[in-house]
C-alpha cells in the first residue's frame, strides 16, 4: 500500500462512516405534525365555535411522548454505531422537553400574555443547535424561524399567536422531518 493509497483509504472510510449519519426524521415529523395540528385546531376553535373542551387537543402533546419513546428505542436498537454528538444532542432535547413541561405548569399557575413568544423562543434553541451541530440547514432556518415568530407573536393578539406556533412547528420540524425522512429512505434503498 503506497502513501497515496493509504490517504485515499482513510478518506474513503471516513466518508463512508459520515455518509451513514442519517436521522430517520420520524421524531421531527411527529412533533412537527402534533404541535402544528394542536395549534391550528385551537386557532380555528377560537375563531369560530369557542368551545373550551376543544382546547383539550393539547393533551396530544403529552400522548405523543409515548410514540417518541418507542421511536427512540427502535432507532437506538437499529443503529450499529454511535456518533460523537449523539449524547450532546440527546441532552439538549431532553432538557428542552423538561423546560417545556415546566413552562406548562408555570403558565397554568401564573397568567402571562406573551406565553407563545416564550414557547417559540424555547422551540428555537434545540432546533437551531441541532441544525448548527449537524450542519443541517433546514433546521438552522427552522430555529431562526422560531425566534422570528416569537418576535412576531408579541405584535399579534391571541388567537393569531397560535398561527405563529403552527407556522414555526411546520418550518422548524415538519419540513426538516420530511427532508430527513426522504434522505433516510433513499440511503436505506442504496444500502440494500
Report the phi/psi class of residue 25: left, alpha or beta, with left for phi > 0 and alpha for psi in -120 to 50: left
Closest approach, Cβ 14 to another protein, in A, equals 5
Closest approach, Cβ 106 to another protein, in A, equals 36
Closest approach, Cβ 125 to another protein, in A, equals 24
Interface residues with another protein (CB under 8 A)? Answer: 1, 3-4, 6-7, 9-10, 12-14, 16-18, 77, 80-84, 86
Cα 64 to its chain centre, rounded Å, is 13
Closest approach, Cβ 43 to another protein, in A, equals 43
Comparison of 7 and 44: residue with beta carbon closer to another protein: 7
Comparison of 59 and 70: residue with beta carbon closer to another protein: 70
For residues 88 and 140, give the distance between their C-alpha atoms in angstroms, rounded to a whole number. Answer: 17
Which helix (H) or strand (E) segment is 185 a member of? helix 175-191
C-alpha angle 134/131/96, rounded to 5°?
A: 110
Comparison of 85 and 115: residue with beta carbon closer to another protein: 85
Closest approach, Cβ 110 to another protein, in A, equals 42
Comparison of 77 and 109: residue with beta carbon closer to another protein: 77
- Length, in residues, of the chain: 192
Comparison of 9 and 102: residue with beta carbon closer to another protein: 9
Q: Buried b vs exposed e over 27-64: b needs ≥16 C-beta within 10 Å?
A: bbbbbbbbbbbbbbbbbebbeeeeeeeeeebeeebeeb
Amino acid at each position: 500500500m503506497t502513501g497515496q493509497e493509504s490517504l485515499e483509504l482513510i478518506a474513503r472510510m471516513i466518508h463512508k462512516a459520515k455518509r451513514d449519519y442519517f436521522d430517520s426524521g420520524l421524531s421531527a415529523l411527529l412533533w412537527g405534525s402534533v404541535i402544528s395540528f394542536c395549534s391550528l385546531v385551537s386557532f380555528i376553535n377560537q375563531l369560530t365555535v369557542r368551545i373550551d373542551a376543544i382546547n383539550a387537543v393539547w393533551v396530544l402533546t403529552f400522548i405523543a411522548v409515548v410514540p417518541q419513546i418507542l421511536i427512540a428505542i427502535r432507532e437506538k436498537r437499529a443503529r450499529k454505531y454511535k456518533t460523537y454528538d449523539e449524547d450532546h444532542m440527546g441532552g439538549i432535547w431532553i432538557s428542552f422537553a423538561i423546560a417545556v413541561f415546566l413552562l406548562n405548569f408555570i403558565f397554568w399557575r401564573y397568567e402571562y400574555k406573551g406565553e407563545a413568544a416564550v414557547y417559540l423562543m424555547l422551540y428555537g434553541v434545540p432546533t437551531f443547535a441541532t441544525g448548527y451541530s449537524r450542519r443541517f440547514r433546514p433546521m438552522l432556518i427552522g430555529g431562526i424561524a422560531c425566534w422570528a415568530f416569537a418576535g412576531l407573536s408579541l405584535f399579534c393578539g391571541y388567537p393569531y399567536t397560535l398561527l405563529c406556533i403552527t407556522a414555526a412547528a411546520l418550518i422548524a420540524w415538519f419540513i426538516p422531518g420530511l427532508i430527513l425522512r426522504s434522505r433516510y429512505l433513499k440511503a436505506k434503498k442504496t444500502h440494500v
